[in-house]
Structure 1
Amino acid sequence: MNQDFARIERYLYQYNNYLVGLKNMKRYYESLYPRVTATYDDVGGGSTGAFTYKSQTEDIALKRMEKEFENLKAQIDEYELIIGSIDEALKHLDKTKRKFVELRYFQRVDMDMIASKLKYANKRSVYSIRDKVEDELIVSLKILLSMSS
């Protein structure tokens, strides 16, 4: 098996966990965000103004929270890229290949059971489908290879 595809398979096996992780990160992000506010005072009228903080401690705390939000947003963006890339790649597989991916990677079904569910006489035919899936996903999910895993 191609080493690049082995890396892609790790993303495919974790697909459902990425979905749950994304949902949880977004929930956490949204629960924190409304509580982060700064005071905005009008200084001198017109359209100018300035953010004011009550103390240096508050300033430090807000900067830490801002950094936490940036890190969380970067993780959310990464998960969205992974999930979106996989979803888009699956749209371009034919029905049999897409079903193979869903069974093998998302539901973790063994090759004998996949052969049965796809109505193939033996798992050798399923390995042929797997090889075709590999060829296609190596191209369509190449972006995942550039990400740290």
Structure 2
Amino acid sequence: MLSISVKYFNELTLQELYDILQLRSEVFVVEQDCVYQDIDGKDAKALHLIGKKEGKVVAYTRLFPGGAYFEEASIGRVVVSKTERQYGYGHDIIKASLEAVKNYFRENKIKISAQEYLVRFYEKHGFVKIGEGYLEDGIPHVAMIWK
């Protein structure tokens, strides 16, 4: 069972921060073989949605109000540990992220930069592709909007 919490940066424990950064590095840098600056100075401005299983961080997103990242509110750094993807935790954290954006930011329009291979996944949650695809850190992405 996935336990989900939402925290501002200053509410994160050192262990949670370490576990989040470790998970992001494990998936985005090592698994996806992508050298990029994950620690980008934006975490302090984000709302952090953390999915834990038996006390271990296995899923995560970071959320921004409109104007902080895009003109619209946004969800980014969506990640689930490779060993936990079979349980549908990606769907759980996206649903929780949509609710958190509404509850914390009072916004109903969300923009994401989705990896192209995940378009169908996001479409299942009501996101719609906008514009043409592009490369971000060498990986094909597409902008998507949720209203």
* TM-score, normalised relative to structure 2: 0.26
Greater helix fraction, Structure 1 or Structure 2? 1
Q: Which has the higher contact order (CA 8 A, sep 6+)?
A: 1
* TM-score, normalised relative to structure 1: 0.25
Greater strand fraction, Structure 1 or Structure 2? 2
Asked which structure has the greater CA Rg, the reply is 1
